[in-house]
Amino acid sequence: MTDEQTPSNNLDSILGTDVEELKKAINVAIEARKNAKTFRSSVGIAMQMYDGTIFPGFNIETYAHKGYHAEEVATINALSAGYHGTDFKRMIEIFQDAGHDEVEIFPACPLHCWGTLLEFTHPYLQIVVADVSGNVKYSIRLNELFNTDKGFDIYPSVKIREIKPKLNVMPKLPLSEELKPFYESDAKFRAYCDNVLKVRKI
């Protein structure tokens, strides 16, 4: 991490003009983390929609086999309210494991949660990682987590989504102005919006 990316001075550069909105979301993630049902690791998530609605998520560990990651819980909370796909603006993640030190944080867990987010949100979801005190460490778009310059698509590709369509995947909101440059420049994202999400046009 460079000096330019330290928590105290990077909020504006990361998130433009909505710093107050970001702080509100960070607080939701901090509070959500307190609800973690866990033996050790506690994760808090705030999933923010483009209309400003924020959904909390926390991890749930069980005595049985299956646990639930905070990213999953927040995503399901949003889906339950009818949001999907390009409705998702940003995910705040606050993570600390008892066995890790304070600076060892990461933007959702690879494989399972990255895939879950890709399937139910969209490639340009903004992921903001903060420490347990709410200091922003960094921000990244979901698709930046994947190395896709090797000529392959991460499952589920737009192609498989078109071949095997799902019900109830239409977003609740029109395509955000913030996402429109990506819609114009990224043919796969455009196909996802048009053919899979059938996102409402303004």
SS3 content of the chain, % helix, strand, coil (to 5): 40, 20, 45
**DSSP helix/strand/coil, 41:** coil
Phi and psi (nearest 5°) for 82? 95, 5
CA–CA gap between residue 102 and residue 73 (Å, rounded): 23
Contact with Zn ion (CB under 5 A): which of 28, 71, 75, 158? 71
Q: Report the half-sphere exposure of 168 (CA within 13 A, side-chain side).
A: 5
Counting Cβ atoms within 10 Å, is residue 9 exposed (0-12), middle (13-18) or buried (19+)?
Answer: exposed
Check whether the bond before 156 is cis (ω within 30° of 0): yes
Contact with Zn ion (CB under 5 A): which of 69, 84, 90, 137? 69
Closest distance of CB 102 from Zn ion, Å: 19
Closest distance of CB 59 from Zn ion, Å: 8
Binding mask 82-111 for Zn ion (x = CB under 5 A): ---------------------------x--
Closer residue to Zn ion in complex, CB, 69/84: 69
Contact with Zn ion (CB under 5 A): which of 22, 113, 142, 158? 113
Determine the interface stretch with Zn ion among 44-52, 70-78, 161-169, 188-196 (rule: CB under 5 A): 70-78
How many residues make contact with Zn ion (CB under 5 A)?
A: 4
60 binds Zn ion (CB under 5 A): no
Query: Interface residues for Zn ion in 118-177 (CB under 5 A)?
Result: none
Interacting residue ranges for Zn ion, rule: CB under 5 A: 69, 71, 109, 113
